[in-house]
Amino acid sequence: MKRRICVFTGGRAEYGLLKPLLDELNKAPSVELKLLVSGMHLSREFGLTYENIEADGYTCDECVEMILSSDTPTGVCKSMGLGMIGFSEALVRLKPDLLVILGDRFESMAAATSAMVCRVPIVHIQGGEMTLGAIDDHIRHAITKMSWLHIVTTEVYRKRVIQLGENPKRVFNYGALNTDAMKKIKLLSKNKLEKEINFSLGSRSLLVTFHPVTLEKNTSEKYFQQILDVIDSYEGLNIIFTKTNADTEGRIINQMIDKYVEKNPQNTIAFKSMGQLRYISSLYYITAVVGNSSSGIIETPTFKVPTINIGEREEGRIIADNIICCEQNVDSIKSALDKALSHAFRESLVNMSNPYEQDNTTLSIAKLLKECELPKLTKKEFYDL
């Protein structure tokens, strides 16, 4: 009998990371792959990216709509409630042997909670990490405690998951799926990329991805305006903005991006979703990355691209030599950008390595999912150190 493995995806970035793993599982004779699709994938505001999944040849076996047109804390809580109602019903129909969940978003939390109550074993990817400025930190550790198997990206994170009481025999350090995909993907040429996105990178370009600091109140407008003020102080910069996820105060940032691009159409462009190939290709050709996203921390070291990490949102993650951490104020951001744009700093990164990168990450995870012993019950002991 085939092993039924269900993979949850709630948004564009997460799906891009999971795509190589889906491809590997889909061709395995011993696996019946199912997709549980929800969150931003089903929202027009965030690009209806479930269409990208279908364009890749996959079936969205269960679609659970949950995103309300509100980014307030109350709206997010209500979205989670709607998700749990839909996920519980979907899991009863799917009857998976394993549910794979990557990351730490509130959509993932709702899916994990439903799976725990429905006694579906959870495989959690990218646990053990820390992001002190975001609610994701709490969600990530909570999902860890609900999960049966754990796949982490570094040995530091493996030890942290064990510290949370998880049995070392069920915690595996295989590296980051992000970096595995980046090594294997055939990048677009610079000319083709510019044609596809209808935008010239010019001689100096920035990729800006800034998310709300979700453990703070009413700071998104102030913080993002600081970035825009710094950008305005430079000449000859071409800017690609990628918009935020469905987080509290995220719409404020997206509205500010739209207004800025409308005012500066000659050297700016914005995307709800670039798609994996175009996004990774952009990382390769861009002069520097600016923002506070996990992509900036985990993915950019592979291409050795100078990256500015602003504020506390990603504080706690392991950082590589290409990451310039700065405070959330104009002077600190400008100083960091001066450094990132300098030839000397780029030259200093020639021999750096990515701490999240390992060989055969996708194959290792797929092998584990295909061959691990399935629990008869999801009871588990607390592992004391």
Q: Is 76 exposed, middle or buried (0-12, 13-18, 19+ CB in 10 A)?
A: buried
Q: What are the angstrom distances between the C-alpha of 344 and each of 284, 340, 352?
A: 18, 9, 14
Confidence band, pLDDT 50/70/90 cuts, at residue 156: very high
pLDDT exceeding 90 applies to what percent of the chain?
81
Mean pLDDT across the chain: 94
Residue 245, pLDDT score: 79
Amino acid at 56: D
> Which strand ranges, in their side-by-side order, compose the sheet holding 205-209?
268-271, 238-242, 205-209, 288-291, 307-310, 323-326
Q: What structural domains and CATH numbers belong to the chain?
A: 3-175+358-371 (3.40.50.2000), 188-348 (3.40.50.2000)
**CA–CA distance, 35 with 217 (Å, rounded to integer):** 35
Residue 326 phi, psi (nearest 5):
-140, 165
Residue 59, pLDDT score: 95
User: Which residues partner with 74 through β-bridges?
Assistant: none
Residue predicted with more confidence, 52 or 70: 52
Residue 214, pLDDT score: 74
**CA–CA distance, 99 with 4 (Å, rounded to integer):** 9
- Using only the alpha carbons of the chain, give its radius of gyration: 20
Q: Average pLDDT, stretch 105-117?
A: 96
Exposure b/e, 156-183, CB count within 10 A at least 16 = b = ebbbbbbebebeeebbbbbbbbbbbbbe
Helices 12-26 and 361-371, packing angle to 10 deg: 60
Q: Average pLDDT, stretch 119-124?
A: 98
Go through the chain and tell me how many residues it has: 385
CB 210 within 8 A of CB 307: no
**CA–CA distance, 334 with 338 (Å, rounded to integer):** 6
Residue 71, pLDDT score: 78
pLDDT at 187 over 90: yes
Residue 185, pLDDT score: 87
pLDDT at 163 over 90: yes
- Read off the DSSP letter of residue 134: S
**CA–CA distance, 125 with 147 (Å, rounded to integer):** 10
Confidence band, pLDDT 50/70/90 cuts, at residue 273: confident
**CA–CA distance, 100 with 7 (Å, rounded to integer):** 5
Q: Average pLDDT, stretch 244-265?
A: 90
Q: Which of 152, 121, 151 is nearest to 378 (CA)?
A: 121
Least confident of 10-14, 92-96, 194-198, 362-366: 10-14
**CA–CA distance, 107 with 11 (Å, rounded to integer):** 9
Residue 136, pLDDT score: 87
Confidence band, pLDDT 50/70/90 cuts, at residue 248: confident
Q: Choose the most confident range, by mean pLDDT, from 69-78, 154-163, 214-223, 369-378.
A: 154-163
- Calculate ∠ Cα 153-277-336, nearest 5°: 65
Residue 159, pLDDT score: 98
Report the largest interatomic distance among the alpha carbons of the chain, rounded to a whole angstrom.
63
Q: Which of 321, 308, 317 is nearest to 354 (CA)?
A: 321
**HSE-up (13 A, CA, CB side) for residue 73:** 7
Q: Average pLDDT, stretch 336-346?
A: 97
